[in-house]
Structure 1
Amino acid sequence: MRNQTHRNVVIREMELEDLPAVYALGESVFTADKWPSLYRTWDEYEPVGLFNSDGDFCFVADADDTVVGFALGSLIDKRKSAWSYGYLTWLAVDPEVKRSGIATQLMDEITEAFIRAGARMMIVDTDAENDVAISFFRRHDFRNEDRHVYLSKNLTSHPDYQRLRRQKP
C-alpha cells in the first residue's frame, strides 16, 4: 500500500532493498551517547528479523528513492486470549526532515495495519528520558505509562572474566 504524503514523501511497505538504508538510518538515530538502551538493542538483525517475521508491519518513508524514516513493528497474539497487540518496536525519522509530519504518517500507516490484522491495542516503549518521543506518543493517544527500569552489569569485573573469555563456547 502506498500513501502519498506532503513534501514528495511516500509511506510504503518496506522492501528487501530497503534493509541497508533502514539499518543505516537506525544507526545514525539510535546512538550510544544519546539513547544507550536503544543503542544496545539496535543492530543489523532488528530490521532483518522484523522484515522476515512481520513484514506486514514494516514501513518506510520514501523521499525520491531515499529512505527518510521507518516504522517497524510486530503483531503479538496471546494464547487463550481474545486480545492481539500491535507492538511498535522502532520508529525513526532522519533528523534532517524531523518535525515535517513523517513520523505521524508512519504512525498512521502502522496503526491501520495493526487494526486490519485484528489488534485491539497498540503498545510502544521508549527511554524514560526521551521527552520528544514520549510527547509524540502522548499526542497519538498512548496512555497508561509504566516506568521500566533497565539494569546493566559490566561483566569485565567478574573475577573469572579473562579465563572464561579464553574458553571456547
Structure 2
Amino acid sequence: MPTSSDGVVFRDMTLEDVPAVDALEQRLFPADAWPLHMFLSELSQHETRRYLVAERGGDIVGYAGLMCIEPIADVQTIAVVPEFEGRGIGSTLLTRLIEEARLRGAADVLLEVRADNPRAQQLYVRFGFEQIHVRRGYYRDGVDALIMRLQLGPEGALDDGAPAHAPAPHPTTEAGQA
C-alpha cells in the first residue's frame, strides 16, 4: 500500500469503507450528498468504476471515484476532509484517477466542480483541465457547475506534451457529484 510522508495510505475503496465514506459525504456535502446506496452501486460496477480512499491512522481522510466508458472518463467525486487539506491528498487522488483513466483507454477526463469553489478549480487547472461548459443551477442549492475537461494524449502526457500531474501537490474538497 503506497503511503505518503505523513502516513496517509492510498488504497481501493471497499464495501467496509462505505459507512465512513457516507458519513464524510454527509459532512462535506450536506446539500448534495450522495445517498449511501449510490456508493454501494458504484462499487459494484468494477468494469467501469474505480474508487479510492486516503486513510491515516485507520480514519478515512479523503476519497475519490472515476467512471470510465471509453473514450470518456468522468471524475464522479473527490473529497478531502478540511483538517487534511494542503497535504497533497487531493492531488494524489486526482493523479491516480487520471492514471486509471489512461489505463482504461480514455481520451478525455471530465468533471463537474462548483462555480463557488475556486480552490478546487485551481487544482484542476494545474492538472491541465479547462472549462468547457456551465450547467446552470446544477447543485441543489442553485449553484452552477463548471464542466471541465482534461484531454489525454499518448504515453502519459497531455495533448500539449505537459506532464499529466501537477508539479506541486494541493488537495481539493470536491469535484462535485455526478
Amino acid paired to 2:2: N
Q: How far did residue 152 of structure 1 move? A: 8.9
Write out per-residue CA displacement over residues 53-107 of structure 1, whole angstroms, 9 at most, x where no aligned residue: 1475100001122111000121123xxxxxx111101000011111111000101
* TM-score for the superposition, normalised by structure 1: 0.75
Letter in 2 for 1:22: V
Q: How does 1:17-166 map to 2 (within 5 A)?
A: 17-32=16-31, 39=32, 42-54=34-46, 56-77=49-70, 84-150=71-137
Letter in 1 for 2:39: P
- Name the structure where strand makes up a greater proportion of residues: 2
- Which structure has the greater CA radius of gyration? 1
Q: Distance in 2 between matches of 1:129 and 1:119?
A: 28
Q: Which runs of 5+ in 2 are unaligned?
A: 141-178
Ranges of 4+ aligned residues in structure 1 off by more than 6 Å: none
Letter paired with 1:128: A
CA RMSD in angstroms, aligned pairs only: 2.0
What amino acid is aligned across from residue 100 of structure 1 in structure 2? R
Q: Which has the higher helix share?
A: 1
Mean CA deviation greater in 52-61 or 119-128: 52-61
Return closer, same or farther for 1:63/1:152 CA change in 2, 3 Å cut-off. closer
How far apart are the structure 2 equivalents of 1:97 and 1:151?
27
Give the number of the structure with larger relative contact order, counting CA–CA contacts within 8 Å between residues 6 or more apart: 2
Look up the equivalent residue of 2:114 and give its one-letter code: D
Q: Given that residues 50 and 73 in structure 1 are in contact (C-alpha distance below 8 angstroms), is that contact kept between their aligned partners in structure 2?
A: no
